[in-house]
Every structure is written in structure tokens, then in C-alpha cells.
Amino acid sequence: MNRLSLLKKMLPGLLPILIFIIADELWGTRIGLIVAIILGILQLVFFAIKDKKLEKFVLIDTLLILFMGGISIALNNDIFFKLKPAIIEAILVAVLAYSVFGKNNIMLSMSKRYMQDVEINDQQNLVMQKSLKNLLILMSLHLILLLYSCFWMSTEAWAFISTALFYIILAGYFGIELLVRLIKNKRNPIEYLPIIDEQGNFIGKASREECHHNPKLLYPVVRLYLFNKEGKILLQRRSEKSDIEAGKWDASVAGHVQYGENLEEALKRECLEEINYTIDKFDLVHSWLYNSPQSRSMMFVYIGVIDHKPTANIKEVEEVDFFYLKEITPLIIKGKASSGLAKEFPILRNIVIKSKKM
């Protein structure tokens, strides 16, 4: 259950409070309490018929209306009924507090239960923890004000604080969160990648961050090896800021396929971005699956010919240089080459051997 679902389930429980206020003004406190209790029971029956099951939250809320309202009628004192929303909110505050400071994040567990196909990575978990902590502070302050209104403020003030103010605070908080997220996304637009099946067919899209932290999502990567007339292979040394195999020697060009691109378009774009080189002719020679605990990608390997040493775009890669096959082997042995280069090295060797025989 996410926070929005939780708020939707809380809304019916606040309706008896509003009805109580109206009935209290028209017919007195005792009648108001009876009307509120009857409404609570009718709500429980309605949701049981509608959803074909007893929703736990609605059931607990209705039982509290019956219990607290019954005590208020018996003692002819509406204070017990007024405490009912405070009890519900106190439970929510306790759940939030345990999720923020306890060993287990109950809110995260509930979210995973309702979003079974979504993997929440560490970064997203930290963002959620921060959001829950802010929400805990707001709800704790509101709870204190609500308890104060039960004993020392008018019934009308209590009704406003327990209903309208509660939703105004939450709507304001989530509204600010959404606005901040939109501003961040505008400054740093989300990069979406195509999601494919193991046959290479397009089946959807996901953000780059999701793809890098969810091994259930398979996304395509293009890789290009450029050969010169001497049979040397151009390699790039990956950026030290890269989140994958930083600083290691890799293919001449390597990068993601952006959502909306085909493989060839992505390869041309990456080639221009990384080594300032425009390429028109290239051939697909191999494809293979890359698996890691964090991500999963389909590598599409291309080869091409180049007649000069291009310049590296230092915003993308550290440097570029030509290597003979025999010079690449020590890089792999010493761990200075990427796992992709190590995996694809036999293919490169076969290409060079075949070219010499021709």
C-alpha cells in the first residue's frame, strides 16, 4: 500500500466526523453520535459488498467509531468520540516512526507488496526514507494540535483540524514534493531506454536509473570496434566518473540506445559524442547477454574501418589509442580492460586473422 492508497482509505473514516458535526448542530450531541455510528456501519457494509471483502483499515476505523462513540453516549461526553481520529493518526505516526528509525521499513514493505514488479534500489530507498521522515514530522505536529483541539478548542475547530486541515497539510506536502521533482527533472531530464526481450524485440521503456538497478529489465547497448589499415584496433579508456567499470579500456565506442532510436542511429550518435567521428559504414558481427547483480543488457557488437586517430571527447571518455592484438592481452590479464572487451576479444582476434588470410 502506497501513501496515496492509504489516504484514500482514511477518507471514508473522516466522513462520520463531518456528519456528527452537522447532526450535533441540528439535534444535539447524543443524536449526532448515533448518526455517526450508523454511518460508520453503513460504510463498512458498503465497502464489504463493493470489494467483496472486509478491508482491514475500514474495519478498524468502524470498530473505533462504535467503541469510542459508544463510550461517549454511555458517559454523555463527546470527548471520547473526538479522540477517535487522534487514535488513528497516532497509529500512523507510530508506523512512520518505526519505518524511519526501526530495523524494518514497514511502509517500504507495504509498497513492495502492492508493486511486485518494481525493484526499489538503494538511492530510491534513501529518497523514500527522507520523505517519510518529513511526513513523520508533519503528522506528529498535526497530532499534537489535534489532541489539543479535543480538550481545549470548540467542536467546529476540532472538526476542521481533524479533517480539512489534515488533507490540506498532506496535499501541500505532496504538492511541494511533486514540484521539486518536476524542477529537478527539468534541470536533469530523465533518460529513458528501450526495454527488449532476449530476441531483441522492443517491449517497453524504463529510465536509465531503473535499468542500472533492476536485473529484470533487459536493455540494448551498442559497441563498435574500429580497425585501421595496420590491423590495429582503436580502444577508448572509459571515464573515471563512469558508474560502470570506470577508467578501464573498452571498445572504440560503447553506449546506450535511447528510447525512440534504432541500433544504427544510436551507434552513429555515440560515435560522434565519444570520439568526434562520423561513421556511415559498419557491420553487426555479434550479440550477447551481459548479466550482473544490478543490471542486464544485450550487447550488439559492430566493426568498422577508420583511417586516422580521432580525438576523445573528454566529457565522455578519458582517452583513445590504437592497439595491436598482442597489446590488448596484457590489459585483460592485468584487469585494465572492461569485461566487455575481455568477452569480445576472441571475436576481434578471429576478424584480424581472417583479414590477413584474404
pLDDT of the residue at 28: 72
Note whether 309 and 240 are same-domain residues. yes
Note whether 139 and 250 are same-domain residues. no
Note whether 173 and 317 are same-domain residues. no
Note whether 172 and 228 are same-domain residues. no
Q: How many domains does the chain have?
A: 2
Q: Is residue 201 part of a domain?
A: no
Q: Is 48 exposed, middle or buried (0-12, 13-18, 19+ CB in 10 A)?
A: middle
Q: Which range of residues forms the domain containing residue 278? A: 211-357
Q: Is residue 203 part of a domain?
A: no
Instruction: Give pLDDT < 50 ranges for the chain.
Output: 1-2, 113-119, 358
Note whether 286 and 319 are same-domain residues. yes
Average per-residue pLDDT in the chain?
A: 83
Q: Which of 187, 219, 252 is the last residue of a domain?
A: 187
The model's pLDDT over 238-281, given as tens digits with 9 standing for 90+, comes to 988 887 788 999 999 999 999 999 999 999 999 999 999 999 89
Q: Is residue 100 part of a domain?
A: yes
Note whether 72 and 118 are same-domain residues. yes
Note whether 179 and 225 are same-domain residues. no
Q: Is residue 348 part of a domain?
A: yes
Note whether 258 and 323 are same-domain residues. yes
pTM over 0.75: no
Q: How far apart are CA 277 and CA 309, in angstroms?
A: 10
Note whether 32 and 140 are same-domain residues. yes
Note whether 244 and 338 are same-domain residues. yes
